[in-house]
Every structure is written in C-alpha cells, then in structure tokens.
C-alpha cells in the first residue's frame, strides 16, 4: 500500500524557532518494513545541543513570565494542529517504526489528550497562602528553567506529548532529543511548534544518544533531565543528574504480570484482552503484559483459546488497515527478539509462533510471529524485557506464591488482574508492586491517572496533575507586617 505523506527530503533541528543545522553530518530515516529511505536527518551533536540550550535559556525568562492562561491556550493550539494532521502523522509513524496505522493513530489521539490535559491542569497548579500571626506564609511554584528531554522510538507521538506538555505548561523551556529510529513525526511537529511558541521555548535536536544525548545530559545550563527508555541508559542519566545535582525523572522498562483468576465470567473476552496486552505495539512496549499467570483450574482451556487467537493475528504491512501486527523497528531489535526466542526454545515449551515472518512487498521488515511459551518465572524470557510479541505463560495455584513470583522481577511498571471478585481485585492490587494496576482491561490508561513505576521501572509519575510537580520547584515566602521588636536594646 503506497501512501504519499509529503515528507521533506531532509530534516534539520529546531533551534531558536528556526530549522537550522550546525552539524554537517546526517543519517537516514528508513521505512521499517521496506527498507526504503524516507528522508535524511541532521545528525545533531554537541554544537547543536549548545545552540539549542542557549536558545532555551534565553527564552526562559519571558516564557516563565507568560501568564498560565496564555501558555494553556498555546498548548490547545498545538493539540488542534495534531488533530488536523492526525491521519498523515499516523502514516508517517507507521512507516518510520513499523507499527500499524490503527495503533499510531491512537498514539496521536493520546498525545492530543495530553496537550489538552496539561493545558487545563496548569491553570490550577498553585502553591498555597496561609495567614500567620503578624503576616503571611506563601508557597509558590516556579518553573525550573531549561529542561533536557530524551525519548525512545516505540511510541514517538505519546512520548513527545508526555515530555512537552507538562514542561511547557509549567513554564519551562526545553530541548528534546527524539530517538534516531523514530524522529520523523516529531520533526514534522516542529512545523507547529515553530509557529505556535515563541522562539527558543521548544527546541528539538535529533541525533545519536552517545552524541546529542550525552551532550544534553551533561550540559551545565540544563536544570532538569527527563528520560524514557532502557534501565541501562536511565542509570547513566541518573548519574549525570547526580553529578550536577539536578532533578531527574525516569520512565524505564517493564516485565508486567497479567494475572487470571478462575472466577472470570467471560473467558473469550479475557483471552482476547490478554493477547492484546502482549502484542499491542508489536510487543514493543514497556507496559506490555508479557507474563501471563493462569490459574490451574482454567489453564488448559485458556491456553488453547489463547493459542487460537495468536494464530489468527494478521501479520502484515504497517500501512495496511487490515494488519494487526506490524514489524519491529530495526534489524537490531529483530535479532534481539529472535535471540530471546532461541533462549526460550532451550528451556521452555514453545506453544506457537517463534519465527521471523515474511510479508510480500516488505521483505526487509523484521516481522516476528506472535509467540507463546509455557515457562516458569525463573527463565530468561520471563525475567528480561524482550520488546517483541513474545508472551510467557506461567501456571499458578497457590495465591501467595503467585504474588511473590509476580513481584519477582527487577521491574514494577504495570500489572493486570482478571477477576469477578472485588476482594480478589483489591487485595491483589494492594500486593502488586507496580505503578499501574488494571483490573479486567489491560492498557486502561485514563487521563489524569499517574503513570510510572517501582524499582527498575523508574522515578516519578507522568500523565497526571502531579507531573507538574516534577517540572516546578516550591519557593517559600514569609511576610511579616513589620520588623520584630528590638532584641539588642
């Protein structure tokens, strides 16, 4: 399916409200399914980052002083632009990262909701004013300054919104580095960013993590760092923040448990939702429910139906509306997932899938068959984040033992629970060590609900009003009506 989305031949960073490059190097943006070059992109380096940070620093006083109602109105304008361009942006992302256009359209709708949510939340995000004897005590929230933000490739529209919306709503200026594997829709967004926001408020520098990313995290004029990606890189960024004593927020990986109780009412609906939890985003999601804990009483029936669902999932071109599973973002990611599958074949029982698939016309794409293993919680495929459509199914009978296993990974981002019993739902939600617990519907993200993780899944919460706290600091102002009586005669 050929779609003309009018991409530019070359994309440059957005610095100080203008498209400009200091670096003379470039890299290719490649169609994940076909291998065709989509565009070239400036390979931003330290000089580009320095210019972007300088522009953000210069713009900060004016933006911080901009009334919150005006900042809110500009965020609504940005949401309007995304809404007007959603079909085109969805196709760009589908080509760039290999996910289906149905999913990437949802990404942009979530992004729109984030811009609108923080446009509203910022209006009521205040400190407090408390009268005290002889005066007043005031706490006021102020923006931090220049924020450095780095995002991954799996959901670029959502990740961009997660970072831009709260930072801008709170009055910060920023420099954003998109992932080199998924820069196009963010660079297209720069058209709107340059038109809507004052020069220097939003700066976008594409490039490699070891170059542009490293320069951004180490820059002395960056007052906060925000990162979404792997735990390994998250630790590096946390150290960079510690070295300069600036706040760091991290949204990292996950290996989420999805727990099925034997009392569920509609088995087929739960089977379908569990399959969705493991394969949405082609499995390339930190939220994915990749460890399915099935109770012994329904294990065989559930697994049989689940296998049937996995085998009916349509693998195909990301831009074909009939496709339900596209390709992984790159050869590197494809080989990584196949290595995990090979490991699973050695110590676990392969139920279905387990191979690379070929899609006519998209032979360059790394399409992986939807894969199910029976395994135990100690296996490599159950313990490590795979980032592909691979599900580990684990049998359970003893509740306390199951909870221990569900919590028995380095991560704690999300979890699912399927039950018709309210006590089971609430008791299990209380005991699971994860930031988001979804009962009877996986990926049930609701605007305003906190999103973030425990343990190795990160620091801080996004997607909610409390996110604005991460992008501001409190200043205490205590006012006395007059100076106190003399102490020294």
CA-based torsion, 363, 364, 370, 372: positive or negative = positive
Q: How far is residue 417's CA from residue 432's CA, in Å, rounded to a whole number? A: 10
Q: How far is residue 330's CA from residue 412's CA, in Å, rounded to a whole number? A: 27
Q: Of the ranges 93-97, 132-136, 149-153, which one carries the lowest mean pLDDT score?
A: 132-136
- Under the banding of pLDDT at 50, 70 and 90, the label for residue 275 is very high
The domain locations on the chain are 10-252+457-475, 257-439
Mean pLDDT (the chain) is 96
Tell whether the model's pLDDT for residue 36 goes beyond 50: yes
Task: Give me the mean pLDDT over the 447-460 stretch.
Answer: 95
Task: Give me the mean pLDDT over the 352-375 stretch.
Answer: 97
Query: Which of 228, 109, 226, 213 has the alpha carbon at shortest distance from 157?
Result: 109
Q: 381 near 375, Cβ under 8 Å?
A: yes
- Residue 481, Cβ density class (10 Å: 0-12 exposed, 13-18 middle, ≥19 buried): exposed
- Under the banding of pLDDT at 50, 70 and 90, the label for residue 158 is very high
> Tokens for 54?
């300088």
Q: How far is residue 366's CA from residue 318's CA, in Å, rounded to a whole number? A: 12
Catalytic residues: 251, 286
- Under the banding of pLDDT at 50, 70 and 90, the label for residue 3 is low
> Tokens for 231?
């735990």
Q: How far is residue 37's CA from residue 269's CA, in Å, rounded to a whole number? A: 41
Task: Give me the DSSP letters along 435-477.
Answer: SEEEESSTT---TTS-B--EETTEES-BSSTTHHHHTEEEEEE
The beta-strand segments (E) located in 241-389 are 248-251, 257-260, 291-295, 349-352, 356-357, 367-368, 371-374
**391 CB neighbour count, 10 Å cutoff:** 28
- What pLDDT score was predicted for residue 450? 95
Task: Give me the mean pLDDT over the 351-363 stretch.
Answer: 97
Task: Give me the mean pLDDT over the 145-157 stretch.
Answer: 97
- What pLDDT score was predicted for residue 1? 44
Q: 456 near 231, Cβ under 8 Å?
A: yes
Q: Which CATH class is domain 257-439?
A: alpha beta
- What pLDDT score was predicted for residue 186? 98
Tell whether the model's pLDDT for residue 9 goes beyond 60: yes
- Under the banding of pLDDT at 50, 70 and 90, the label for residue 132 is confident
Q: Beta strand pairing status for 202-204 and 454-455?
A: unpaired
Helix-helix angle 68-84:86-97, to 10 degrees: 70
Map tokens 């939220």 to a residue. Answer: 287
List pLDDT tens digits, range 326-346: 999 999 999 999 999 999 999
Q: How far is residue 155's CA from residue 280's CA, in Å, rounded to a whole number? A: 11
Task: Give me the mean pLDDT over the 193-219 stretch.
Answer: 98
Q: Quick one: what percent of the chain has pLDDT higher than 70?
A: 99
Level-2 CATH architecture, domain 10-252+457-475: 3-Layer(aba) Sandwich (3.40)
- What pLDDT score was predicted for residue 131? 85
Q: Helix or strand or coil: residue 52?
A: helix
Task: Give me the mean pLDDT over the 270-287 stretch.
Answer: 97
Q: Beta strand pairing status for 173-177 and 202-204?
A: parallel
């Amino acid at each position: 399916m050929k779609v003309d989305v009018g991409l530019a031949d070359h994309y440059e960073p957005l610095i100080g409200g203008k498209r400009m490059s200091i670096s003379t190097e470039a890299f290719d943006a490649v169609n994940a399914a076909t291998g065709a070059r989509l565009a070239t992109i400036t390979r931003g380096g330290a000089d580009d980052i320095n210019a972007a940070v300088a522009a953000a620093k210069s713009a900060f006083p004016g933006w911080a002083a901009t009334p919150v109602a005006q900042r809110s109105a500009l965020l609504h304008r940005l949401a309007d632009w995304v809404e007007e361009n959603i079909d085109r942006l969805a196709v760009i992302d589908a080509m760039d990262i290999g996910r289906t256009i149905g999913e990437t359209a949802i990404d942009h709708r979530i992004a729109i909701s984030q811009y609108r949510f923080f446009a509203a939340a910022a209006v009521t995000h205040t400190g407090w004013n408390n009268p005290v004897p002889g005066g007043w005590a005031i706490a006021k929230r102020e923006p931090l300054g220049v924020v450095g933000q780095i995002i991954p490739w799996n959901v670029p529209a959502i990740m961009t919104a997660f970072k831009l919306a709260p930072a801008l709503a709170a009055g910060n200026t920023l420099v954003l580095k998109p992932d080199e594997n998924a820069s196009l829709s963010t660079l297209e967004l720069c058209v709107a960013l340059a038109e809507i926001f004052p020069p220097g408020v939003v700066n976008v520098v594409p490039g490699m993590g070891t170059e542009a990313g490293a320069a951004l995290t180490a820059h002395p004029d960056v007052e906060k760092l925000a990162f979404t990606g792997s735990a390994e890189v998250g630790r590096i960024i946390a150290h960079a923040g510690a070295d300069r004593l600036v706040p760091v927020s991290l949204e990292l990986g996950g290996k989420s448990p999805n727990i099925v109780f034997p009392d569920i009412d509609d088995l087929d609906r739960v089977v379908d939702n569990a399959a969705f939890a493991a394969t949405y985003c082609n499995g390339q999601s930190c939220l994915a429910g990749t460890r399915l804990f099935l109770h012994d009483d329904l294990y065989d029936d559930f697994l049989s139906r689940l296998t049937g669902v996995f085998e009916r999932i349509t693998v195909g071109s990301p831009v074909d509306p009939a496709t339900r599973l596209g390709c992984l973002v790159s050869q590197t990611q494809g080989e990584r997932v196949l290595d995990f599958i090979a490991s699973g074949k050695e110590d676990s029982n392969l139920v279905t899938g387990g191979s690379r698939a070929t899609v006519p016309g998209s032979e360059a794409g790394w399409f992986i068959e939807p894969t199910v293993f029976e395994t135990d919680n100690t296996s490599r495929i159950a313990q490590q984040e795979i980032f592909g459509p691979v599900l580990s199914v684990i049998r359970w009978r003893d509740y306390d033992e199951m909870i221990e296993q569900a919590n028995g990974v380095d991560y704690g981002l999300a979890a699912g629970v399927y039950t018709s019993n309210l006590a089971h739902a609430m008791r299990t939600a209380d005991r699971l060590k994860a930031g988001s617990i979804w009962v009877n519907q996986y990926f049930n993200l609701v605007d305003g609900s906190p999103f973030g993780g425990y343990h190795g899944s990160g620091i801080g919460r996004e997607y909610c009003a409390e996110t604005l706290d991460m992008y501001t600091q409190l200043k205490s102002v205590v006012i006395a009506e007059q100076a106190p009586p003399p102490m020294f005669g």
